[in-house]
């Protein structure tokens, strides 16, 4: 395999590439009544996930193909083609159309003898210049077999390979409808055919040069006389665009998987080659439009064949569960509401236009309809059909000339897929059921899936190219960029330098001699020091001091002696960080916790469903087990409950650690922290009840608050310190690359900052679900298709820890895998809000059902999150507006959540069915009879124990059709990032080769290897607590060894409020204290002054101010547990 080295440098990008839109390709597809945007929206919203899952089933991953058939076009005296020159997915050759370059993508001259294909002849006078004269030529050169196919077939697969052939038919008479039945007969199974597992032979770069094959296809079969695509007749243009679309799909897959992993460095995934992609498509957006056109033709065939495909037996007869799953997926793909919901795409191509107006295009030499020609040169219109079919059959035979076996496999698969689509479109509909065989259907579905994946990958590759271009542009400026001063900035470089010097004199780390030397240099305008001041003093004062001392030949900063040793620096104050901190503190260690927000809690505080774990003693005859929990996690990890068998082991390597430690971690939270985790429930995707939550308040906020209180018990002794509103800018390492501490800056943009020294740093900074802006935005880089969704995460969820770890060379796992949660509340007061409140999984676990705006159910509400989210995107891709409906029993079970959501105007209570119907009718077409029928059907299914969506657990059923009801509007939202930093099973951060970055840890959402493609509900808090404990136990506690620590605070220490005299407070007096400067709230009969707490409140000051001057007990009780008030001293009693 050829050694590859790539450095992209794109000096000029076409406007369509440089666009900031997700795809950048837009406008009409051409030859079809739809736009590029229509195609991409249909693909993203409905098709891709179903196709991806369907092609992983046994029936559709086994493809019957002849890879041994001899090429009839090989010349006798030919020489082998250079096998290191390129791949089957090369540049489109230079033809009469002018759509390619004279040289292929890897430098092989199109005119060279090694690249020639068939003998050139004058174009025959045939319809649309479809040239058959060279069909039996002998000009294509032989080349040796390369890239052998993996022919492994498992025993169950071998038992499932019975082939059902199509019936014989007369295919010679153009006037008979059977004429098109042999469109794919060049692929008909014979003695040499074999079954190949497509999943074991992924499409990627092989080093094969396929330029001669593509040249034969383009030059000899279609494009002999037309000067451009516009000059082609319709039939020729359709065939050309289908072939070009197939070519584009192959090239995109090769670009995606072009650079083999360096196994010695621990790499396991093939990397993309952005340069290859840009070379092929940057100046040729028409090729991508041809891909979209081909996809449209395939979808049109799928829609026409839907009735026949629905009757096709896709069972393998070896595994009843898989058979049922495969059939269910096929049914989902063919469901009428999917096909009709995107009718603009599925019906955009009209096959009836083929062979319709042939007489107007009979000038074979020029293709012009204006020129008068000799009738003797006319062809009978019917002959065009024969030519068209023969051309396709000729191209099918060219596939035998591909000597790269894997390239031949994927070439034949996709050409057969296109042939099957044409066959479907050109045959009468009543003949399809008897004319399609298994091989053709497998090829059709896999080809649609390949084109779907290629279309979905274009925005990702374009985004990588843009980021690489920005990176190179920065590199070309010398490693740093010079920016203009901020508007309103008043400090000159001299003033900033003096201010920085004064700051570190006050902190005690800059001695008198160094102070004098720096001030003198600044005042005498030493040019070197002033340059440093210009670029460092104002925004990076510590760096300025360090550089100035070195420039002046002085000793480095003298740290303050006698400071106490810090055993661990915890970055992030959510559940993972607090759990680790308390564990270290309990072991005798000292901890500094750095939090960039003004409050502790992170996103953990919003988790409401609970925390998972197997505790056998929770109730009598508990059948749950760690094995069952592991199995549920693995099923969820693959997506749609398929299991983890085909995932990279690294993707799910930490599931056993999670499931084996979860139960004991819950017991520790109960015992050590005093957490109330007494309620037990079963969430979606779980086979048993194993999710624990408190009787009061929300699980996340309750745990965070309790842990915070336990950690703060160590504050008086100096062993626990918190630095808020501080962002870690760098992790300090020593000469050996071991962690030595952190540098931090104020996160609110004010001046200041400092360093903290420690041999252990834990990154517990959460995910990157809200990291959408800037050149280093992780969500935009790894999952750009999800930036259109709102999120449940706070504005600070920007992957800070990921970036710090990757900067030190940490490995990454599954960064592209981001979970879309099916139920984020649509706030009627702010429907377009970018951040939405999560509708807890518990609501569906308690018996809530999901309805469309027209009142129909569409999914198993207890299915995995990705399954439910996918069904929502299929059902209503344009609005994504659904109803979450609970009955009285379900609302009673969710007795903390429902009151909270009602207070926030996210849930409403309706006393009767007419009231509910009226509310729903404002956004959809619905009547009371339909809604009543839906509920009655659900009740009947609950009584029978199974519904049409394979739901078998119906909590709190039946629904009383007369009411009352609780309903809210929900929509899918970006919720969680499954991928992250590579760690071992104790949370130690690893490089890609598996070596440890000594002293660096990670825990919580930041890590990868726990959830695979989809996280199981309740595992977020579990992951945080389990890995927080593991890190806390692994950190070496050595506080007896003195070292030096420098700690600077962002602002003056917060003074504890003076305890005021306890007094009686009337409602009239209470109402006077309702402003940001003076905010009192009554809770449980006591009055609290929350004025100083407003800025630190996790939900923001407004959440408290809304109840300022009033009794807020009801809303407080819905969100928090009462013991959270232990940290606050009441000032009086409400009377």
- 610 domain-assigned: yes
Under DSSP, is residue 179 helix (H, G, I), strand (E, B) or coil?
Answer: helix
Cα–Cα distances (Å) from 1087 to 566, 1062, 1127, in that order, read 39, 10, 14
Q: Residue 1041's pLDDT is what?
A: 36
Under DSSP, is residue 584 helix (H, G, I), strand (E, B) or coil?
Answer: helix
Inform me whether the pLDDT recorded for 79 exceeds 80: no
Under DSSP, is residue 703 helix (H, G, I), strand (E, B) or coil?
Answer: helix
Compute the average pLDDT of residues 1112-1120: 77
Give dist(CA 780, CA 292) in Å, integer: 23
Q: Residue 949's pLDDT is what?
A: 93
Selection from 710, 685, 680 nearest residue 611 by Cα = 680
Q: Are strands 761-763 and 996-1002 parallel, antiparallel or unpaired?
A: parallel
How many percent of the chain have pLDDT more than 70? 72
Are 894 and 952 part of one and the same domain? yes
Q: Which residue has the higher pLDDT, 904 or 1000?
A: 1000
pLDDT-derived band at 1052 (thresholds 50, 70, 90) equals very low
Q: Which residue has the higher pLDDT, 535 or 483?
A: 535
Q: Which residue has the higher pLDDT, 58 or 471?
A: 58
Are 426 and 390 part of one and the same domain? yes
Are 959 and 1021 part of one and the same domain? no
Q: Which residue has the higher pLDDT, 537 or 812?
A: 812
Structural domain ending residue among the three candidates 471, 504, 539: 471
Residue 831's Cα: distance from chain center in Å? 24
Q: Which domain holds residue 623?
A: 568-814+978-1034
- 1048 domain-assigned: no
**Token pair of 325 as six digits:** 């799953």
**Token pair of 229 as six digits:** 């695509």
Least confident range from 38-42, 834-838, 1015-1019: namely: 38-42
Q: Which residue has the higher pLDDT, 477 or 475?
A: 475
Q: Residue 261's pLDDT is what?
A: 66
Are 676 and 703 part of one and the same domain? yes
Least confident range from 70-74, 751-755, 917-921: namely: 70-74
Omega of the bond leading into 504 within 30 degrees of 0 (cis): no
Q: Which residue has the higher pLDDT, 640 or 806?
A: 806
Task: Report the CATH number that the domain containing residue 715 is assigned in CATH.
Answer: 3.50.50.60
Are 866 and 728 part of one and the same domain? no
Are 147 and 273 part of one and the same domain? yes
Q: Which residue has the higher pLDDT, 457 or 892?
A: 892
Structural domain ending residue among the three candidates 975, 999, 1017: 975
920 in Cβ contact with 853 (< 8 Å): yes
pLDDT digits (tens, 9 = 90+) for 921-966: 998 889 899 999 999 999 999 999 999 999 998 999 999 999 999 9
**Token pair of 748 as six digits:** 């609110």
Q: Residue 20's pLDDT is what?
A: 41
Give the HSE-up count for residue 803: Cα atoms under 13 Å, Cβ half-sphere.
16
Inform me whether the pLDDT recorded for 155 exceeds 50: yes
- 560 domain-assigned: no
Compute the average pLDDT of residues 718-726: 89
pLDDT-derived band at 174 (thresholds 50, 70, 90) equals low
Q: Is 0.85 surpassed by the pTM of this model?
A: no
Are 825 and 707 part of one and the same domain? no
| Residue where the block lists tokens 């915890």 | 570
Inform me whether the pLDDT recorded for 173 exceeds 70: no
Q: Which residue has the higher pLDDT, 549 or 188?
A: 549
Pairs from 934-940 (Cβ < 8 Å, separation ≥ 24): 934/851, 934/855, 934/856, 934/857, 935/959, 935/961, 936/961, 937/857, 938/849, 938/857
pLDDT-derived band at 263 (thresholds 50, 70, 90) equals low
How many percent of the chain have pLDDT more than 90? 30
Q: Residue 353's pLDDT is what?
A: 66
Are 454 and 368 part of one and the same domain? yes
Q: Which residue has the higher pLDDT, 367 or 325?
A: 325
Q: Are strands 1132-1134 and 62-65 parallel, antiparallel or unpaired?
A: unpaired
Most confident of 321-335, 483-497, 983-997: 983-997
Q: Residue 147's pLDDT is what?
A: 57
- 600 domain-assigned: yes
How many separate helices (H) and strands (E) can be counted in the chain? 36, 26
Inform me whether the pLDDT recorded for 449 exceeds 70: yes
- 656 domain-assigned: yes
Q: Residue 177's pLDDT is what?
A: 64
Are 909 and 769 part of one and the same domain? no
pLDDT digits (tens, 9 = 90+) for 599-632: 788 888 777 779 999 998 888 888 999 999 999 9
- 483 domain-assigned: no
Inform me whether the pLDDT recorded for 910 exceeds 60: yes
Are 860 and 983 part of one and the same domain? no
237 in Cβ contact with 30 (< 8 Å): no
Q: What is the DSSP string of 82-145?
A: -TTS--SS-PPB--TT--SBSB-TTS-BTTSGGG--SPP-PPPS-GGG---TTTT---BPP---
Are 809 and 823 part of one and the same domain? no
Inform me whether the pLDDT recorded for 245 exceeds 80: yes
pLDDT-derived band at 360 (thresholds 50, 70, 90) equals very low
Q: Residue 290's pLDDT is what?
A: 87
pLDDT-derived band at 657 (thresholds 50, 70, 90) equals very high
- 1045 domain-assigned: no
Inform me whether the pLDDT recorded for 187 exceeds 80: no
Mean pLDDT, the chain, as a whole number? 77
Give dist(CA 898, CA 861) in Å, integer: 18
Structural domain ending residue among the three candidates 975, 999, 1019: 975
Q: Residue 85's pLDDT is what?
A: 32
Give dist(CA 772, CA 31) in Å, integer: 36
Q: Residue 795's pLDDT is what?
A: 82
Under DSSP, is residue 691 helix (H, G, I), strand (E, B) or coil?
Answer: strand
Q: Are strands 568-571 and 591-595 parallel, antiparallel or unpaired?
A: parallel
Q: Which residue has the higher pLDDT, 40 or 459?
A: 459
pLDDT digits (tens, 9 = 90+) for 667-718: 999 999 988 898 898 887 899 999 999 887 778 888 998 899 899 888 877 8
- Count how many residues are written for the chain: 1135
Are 500 and 458 part of one and the same domain? no
Q: Residue 602's pLDDT is what?
A: 83
Inform me whether the pLDDT recorded for 56 exceeds 90: no
Q: Which residue has the higher pLDDT, 366 or 1077?
A: 1077
Q: Residue 896's pLDDT is what?
A: 78
Inform me whether the pLDDT recorded for 182 exceeds 70: no
Compute the average pLDDT of residues 848-864: 94
Number of domains, the chain:
5
Catalytic residues: 821, 844
Task: Report the CATH number that the domain containing residue 1108 is assigned in CATH.
Answer: 3.10.120.10
- 93 domain-assigned: yes
Strand segments, DSSP code E, in 180-273 are 194-197
End-to-end CA gap in the chain = 84
């Amino acid at each position: 395999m050829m050694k590859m080295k790539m450095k992209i440098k794109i000096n000029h990008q076409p406007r369509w590439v440089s666009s900031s839109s997700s795809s950048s390709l837009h406008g009409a597809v051409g030859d079809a009544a739809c736009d590029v945007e229509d195609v991409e929206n249909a693909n993203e919203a409905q098709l891709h996930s179903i196709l991806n899952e369907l092609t992983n089933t046994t029936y559709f991953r086994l493809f019957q193909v002849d890879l041994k058939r001899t090429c009839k076009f090989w010349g006798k005296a030919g020489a082998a083609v250079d096998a290191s020159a390129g791949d089957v997915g090369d540049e489109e050759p230079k033809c009469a159309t002018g759509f390619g370059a004279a040289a292929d993508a890897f430098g092989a001259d199109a005119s060279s003898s090694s690249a020639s294909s068939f003998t050139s002849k004058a174009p025959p006078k045939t319809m649309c210049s479809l040239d058959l004269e060279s069909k039996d030529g002998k000009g294509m050169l032989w080349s040796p077999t390369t890239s052998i196919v993996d022919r492994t077939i498992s025993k169950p697969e071998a038992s499932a390979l019975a082939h059902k052939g199509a019936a014989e038919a007369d295919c010679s008479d153009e006037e008979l409808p059977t004429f098109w039945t042999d469109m794919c007969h060049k692929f008909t199974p014979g003695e040499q055919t074999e079954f190949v597992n497509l999943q074991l032979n992924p499409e990627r770069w092989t080093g094969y040069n396929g330029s001669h094959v593509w040249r034969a296809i383009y030059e000899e079969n279609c494009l002999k006389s037309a000067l451009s695509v516009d000059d082609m007749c319709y039939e020729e243009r359709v065939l050309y665009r289908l072939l070009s679309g197939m070519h584009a799909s192959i090239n995109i897959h090769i670009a995606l998987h072009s650079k083999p992993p360096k196994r010695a460095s621990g790499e396991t995934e093939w990397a993309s080659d952005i340069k290859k992609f840009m070379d092929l498509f940057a100046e040729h957006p028409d090729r991508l439009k041809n891909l979209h056109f081909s996809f449209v033709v395939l979808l049109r065939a799928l829609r026409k064949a839907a009735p026949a495909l629905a009757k096709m037996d896709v069972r393998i007869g070896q595994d009843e569960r898989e058979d049922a799953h495969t059939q269910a997926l096929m049914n989902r793909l063919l469901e009428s509401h999917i096909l009709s919901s995107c009718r603009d795409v599925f019906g955009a191509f009209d096959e009836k236009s083929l062979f319709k107006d042939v007489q107007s295009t009979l000038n074979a030499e020029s293709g012009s309809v204006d020129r008068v020609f000799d009738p003797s040169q006319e062809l009978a219109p019917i002959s065009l059909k024969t030519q068209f079919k023969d051309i396709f059959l000729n191209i099918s035979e060219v596939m035998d000339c591909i000597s790269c076996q894997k390239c031949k496999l994927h070439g034949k698969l996709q050409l057969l897929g296109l042939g099957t689509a044409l066959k479907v479109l050109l045959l009468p509909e009543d003949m399809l059921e008897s004319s399609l065989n298994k091989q053709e259907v497998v090829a059709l579905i896999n080809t649609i899936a390949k084109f779907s994946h290629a279309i979905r990958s274009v925005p990702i590759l374009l985004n990588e190219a843009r980021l690489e271009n920005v990176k190179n542009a920065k590199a070309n400026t010398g490693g740093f960029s010079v920016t203009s001063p901020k508007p309103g900035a008043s400090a000159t470089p001299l003033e900033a330098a003096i201010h920085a010097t004064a700051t570190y004199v006050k902190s005690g780390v800059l001695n008198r001699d160094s102070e004098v030397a720096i001030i003198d240099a600044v005042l005498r305008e030493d040019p070197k020091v002033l340059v440093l001041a210009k670029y460092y003093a104002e925004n990076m004062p510590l760096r300025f001091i360090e550089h100035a001392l070195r420039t002046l030949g002085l000793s480095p900063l003298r740290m303050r002696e006698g400071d106490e040793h810090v055993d661990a620096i915890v970055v992030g104050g959510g559940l993972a960080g607090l759990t680790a901190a308390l564990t270290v503190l309990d072991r005798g260690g000292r901890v500094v916790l750095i939090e960039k927000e003004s409050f502790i809690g992170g996103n953990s505080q919003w988790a409401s469903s609970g925390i998972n774990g197997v505790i056998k003693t929770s109730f009598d005859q508990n059948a749950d087990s760690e094995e069952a929990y592991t199995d549920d996690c693995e099923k969820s990890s693959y997506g749609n409950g398929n299991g983890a068998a085909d995932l990279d082991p690294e993707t799910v390597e930490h599931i056993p650690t999670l499931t084996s430690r979860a139960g004991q971690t819950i017991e520790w939270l109960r015992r050590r922290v005093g957490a109330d985790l007494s309620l037990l429930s079963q969430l979606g995707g779980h086979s048993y009840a194993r999710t624990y939550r408190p009787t009061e308040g929300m699980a996340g906020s309750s745990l965070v608050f309790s842990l915070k209180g336990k950690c703060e018990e160590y504050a008086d002794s100096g062993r626990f310190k918190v630095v808020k509103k501080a962002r870690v800018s760098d992790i300090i390492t020593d000469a050996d690359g071991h962690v030595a501490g952190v540098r931090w800056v104020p996160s609110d943009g004010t001046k200041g900052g400092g360093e903290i020294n420690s041999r252990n740093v834990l990154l517990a900074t959460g995910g990157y679900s809200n990291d959408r802006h800037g050149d280093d935005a992780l969500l935009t880089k790894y999952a750009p298709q999800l930036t259109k969704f709102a999120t449940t995460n706070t504005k600070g969820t920007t992957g800070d820890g990921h970036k710090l770890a990757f900067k030190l060379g940490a490995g990454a796992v599954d960064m592209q895998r981001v979970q879309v949660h099916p139920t984020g509340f649509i706030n009627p007061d702010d429907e377009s809000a970018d951040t939405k409140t999560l509708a807890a999984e518990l609501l569906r676990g308690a018996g809530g059902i999901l309805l469309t705006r027209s009142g129909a159910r569409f999914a198993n509400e207890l299915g995995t999150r990705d399954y439910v989210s996918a069904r929502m995107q299929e059902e209503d891709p344009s609005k994504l507006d659904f109803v979450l409906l609970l009955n009285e029993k379900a609302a009673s079970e969710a007795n903390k959540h429902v009151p909270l959501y009602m207070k926030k105007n996210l849930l409403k209570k309706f006393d009767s069915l007419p009231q509910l119907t009226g509310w729903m009718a404002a956004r959809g077409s619905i009547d009371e009879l339909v809604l009543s029928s839906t509920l009655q059907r659900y009740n009947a299914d609950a009584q029978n124990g199974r519904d049409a969506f394979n739901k078998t657990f119906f909590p709190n059923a039946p629904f009383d059709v007369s009411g009352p009801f609780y309903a809210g509007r929900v929509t899918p939202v970006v919720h969680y990032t499954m991928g992250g930093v590579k760690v071992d099973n104790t949370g130690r951060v690893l490089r890609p080769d598996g070596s440890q970055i000594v002293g660096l840890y990670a825990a919580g959402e930041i890590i990868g290897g726990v959830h695979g493609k989809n996280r199981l509900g309740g595992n977020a808090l579990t992951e945080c607590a389990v890995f927080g404990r593991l890190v806390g136990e692994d950190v070496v506690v050595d506080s007896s060894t003195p070292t030096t620590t420098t700690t600077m605070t962002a602002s003056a220490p917060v003074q504890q409020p003076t305890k005021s005299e306890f007094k009686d407070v009337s409602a009239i007096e209470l109402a006077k204290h309702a402003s940001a400067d003076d905010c009192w709230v009554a809770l449980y009969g006591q009055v609290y002054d929350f004025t100083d707490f407003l800025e630190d409140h996790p939900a923001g000051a407004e959440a408290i101010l809304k109840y300022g001057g009033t009794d807020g007990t009801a809303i407080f009780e819905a969100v928090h547990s009462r013991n959270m008030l232990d940290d606050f001293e009441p000032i009086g009693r409400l009377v």
